[in-house]
Structure 1
Amino acid sequence: METTIQIQNLKCHGCANTIITQLSKLQGVSEVAVNNETDEVSFNHNSTTEFELVKKKLSDLGYPLTGEENSLPKKAKSFVSCAVGRMSK
Structure 2
Amino acid sequence: MKAIVKIQNLKCHGCATTITKKLTALENISEVEVDNDEHTVSFFYSDMLDLEKVKLTLNSLGYPEEGDANSLSEKAKSFVSCAIGRIS
TM-score (norm 2): 0.99
What SS does structure 1 have at the residue aligned with 2:38?
coil
- Give the corresponding residue for 1:85: 85
Question: Unaligned regions of 5+ residues in structure 2, if any?
Answer: none
**Runs of 4+ with deviation above 3 angstroms:** none
Match of 2:25 in 1: 25
Q: Which residue of structure 2 lines up, in the alignment, with residue 66 of structure 1?
A: 66
Question: How far does the alpha carbon of each residue in 1:42-87 deviate from its partner, in whole angstroms, 9 at most, with x for none?
Answer: 0000000000000000000000000000000000000000000000
> In the comparison of the two structures, how many residue pairs are matched?
88
Distance of 1:68 and 1:6 partners within structure 2: 11
User: In structure 1, what is the Cα distance between the partners aligned to 2:37 and 2:22?
Assistant: 20
Question: RMSD of the alignment, in Å?
Answer: 0.3
Q: Which residue of 2 aligns with 1:10?
A: 10
State the secondary structure of the residue aligned to 1:64: coil
